[in-house]
């Protein structure tokens, strides 16, 4: 038992493990994630409806969205942005890892008579001959990727953008990192049964990596017949560190905002957004 507990509480190297499929392709957890996406009272998987409406309004104005605009939403979830942008006439492609989320998004599009191209894929592996005026990655998805994965993602964005095309994404700031604290908790059916329909014991270890500006929420889920580990990594950025990553991968014109609704940039914000052009 001591050896098992020592392993549960062990600290891996930054981004040592990648377990995105456990969230997005597991039937039970992907349904739970969809419920969080659609819950307008919490900003966990998606932001609230009012913010999304403000964000879409700003995106349409900022990028002069019209019927000729081609947009790709990486990590589109249940289509909260893709649906609204398609309603404004844009030609939209949504890429997501969760079949449940895409099924919901496709049903909404069908009900509204919208033509939206939804693709089931881990966006790290997504390939297409299409080219886009705007690529979005919203809700700080960029932060869950390792340095190597982010480099791959930015290279992909550069390839998929039309000349003068733009990327819009948001990240967690160092202010958010400084507010995080290490912890270890243990709970029966942790997160109200999020991880399994059956009883389980959930261990959650939060680690901070000061040098790398990374945090990890390490979930160890112990059920009657199996044990699972899920690693939720987050990279935190300064203005310069994010700009440098984009510039090193071929992006030139860069603007910063406090959020993806176009709020003026503030160094006090716990998140911030970037608009980058080729």
Query: Cα–Cα distance between 203 and 208 in angstroms, integer?
Result: 17
Q: What Rg do the C-alpha atoms of the chain give, in angstroms? A: 19
Whether residue 237 contacts residue 171, with contact meaning beta carbons closer than 8 Å, is answered with: yes
Q: Are strands 161-173 and 227-237 parallel, antiparallel or unpaired?
A: parallel
The predicted pLDDT at position 20 comes to 87
Residue-wise pLDDT tens digits, 75-107:
999 999 999 999 999 999 999 999 999 999 999
The predicted pLDDT at position 38 comes to 73
Task: Tally the residues of the chain.
Answer: 278
Which residues of the chain have a pLDDT value below 50?
45
Q: List, in order of start, the domains of the chain with CATH numbers.
A: 27-171+237-277 (3.40.50.150)
The predicted pLDDT at position 43 comes to 53
The predicted pLDDT at position 41 comes to 60
Whether residue 235 contacts residue 143, with contact meaning beta carbons closer than 8 Å, is answered with: yes
The predicted pLDDT at position 28 comes to 85
SS3 state at 95: strand
The predicted pLDDT at position 239 comes to 96
Residue-wise pLDDT tens digits, 18-27:
998 877 778 8
The predicted pLDDT at position 274 comes to 98
The predicted pLDDT at position 48 comes to 85
Query: Cα–Cα distance between 74 and 124 in angstroms, integer?
Result: 9
The predicted pLDDT at position 229 comes to 96
pTM of the complete model: 0.93
The predicted pLDDT at position 42 comes to 55
User: Token pair for residue 17?
Assistant: 């493990």
């Amino acid at each position: 038992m001591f050896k098992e507990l020592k392993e549960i509480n062990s600290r891996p190297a930054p981004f040592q493990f990648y377990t995105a499929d456990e969230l997005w392709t597991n039937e039970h957890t992907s349904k739970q994630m969809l419920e969080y996406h659609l819950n307008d009272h919490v900003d966990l998987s998606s932001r609230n409806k009012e913010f999304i409406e403000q964000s879409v309004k700003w995106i349409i104005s900022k990028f002069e969205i019209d019927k000729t605009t081609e947009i790709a939403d990486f990590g589109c979830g249940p289509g909260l942005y893709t649906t609204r942008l398609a309603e404004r006439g844009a030609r939209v492609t949504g890429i997501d890892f969760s079949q449940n989320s895409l099924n919901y998004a496709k049903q909404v599009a069908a009900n509204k008579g919208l033509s939206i191209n939804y693709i089931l894929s881990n966006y790290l592996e997504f390939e297409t001959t299409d080219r886009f005026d705007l690529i979005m990655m919203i809700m700080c998805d960029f932060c869950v990727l390792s340095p190597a994965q982010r480099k791959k993602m930015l290279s992909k964005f550069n390839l998929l953008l039309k000349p003068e095309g733009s990327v819009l994404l948001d990240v967690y700031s160092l202010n958010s990192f400084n507010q995080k604290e290490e912890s270890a908790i243990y709970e029966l059916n942790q997160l109200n049964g999020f991880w399994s329909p059956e009883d389980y014991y959930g261990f959650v270890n939060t680690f901070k990596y000061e040098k790398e500006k990374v945090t990890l929420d390490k979930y160890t889920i112990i059920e009657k017949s199996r044990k699972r580990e899920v690693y939720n990594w987050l990279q935190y950025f300064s203005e310069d560190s994010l700009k440098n990553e984009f510039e090193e991968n071929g992006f030139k014109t860069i603007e910063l905002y406090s959020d993806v609704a176009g709020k003026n940039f503030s160094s006090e914000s716990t998140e911030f957004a970037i608009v980058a052009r080729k």
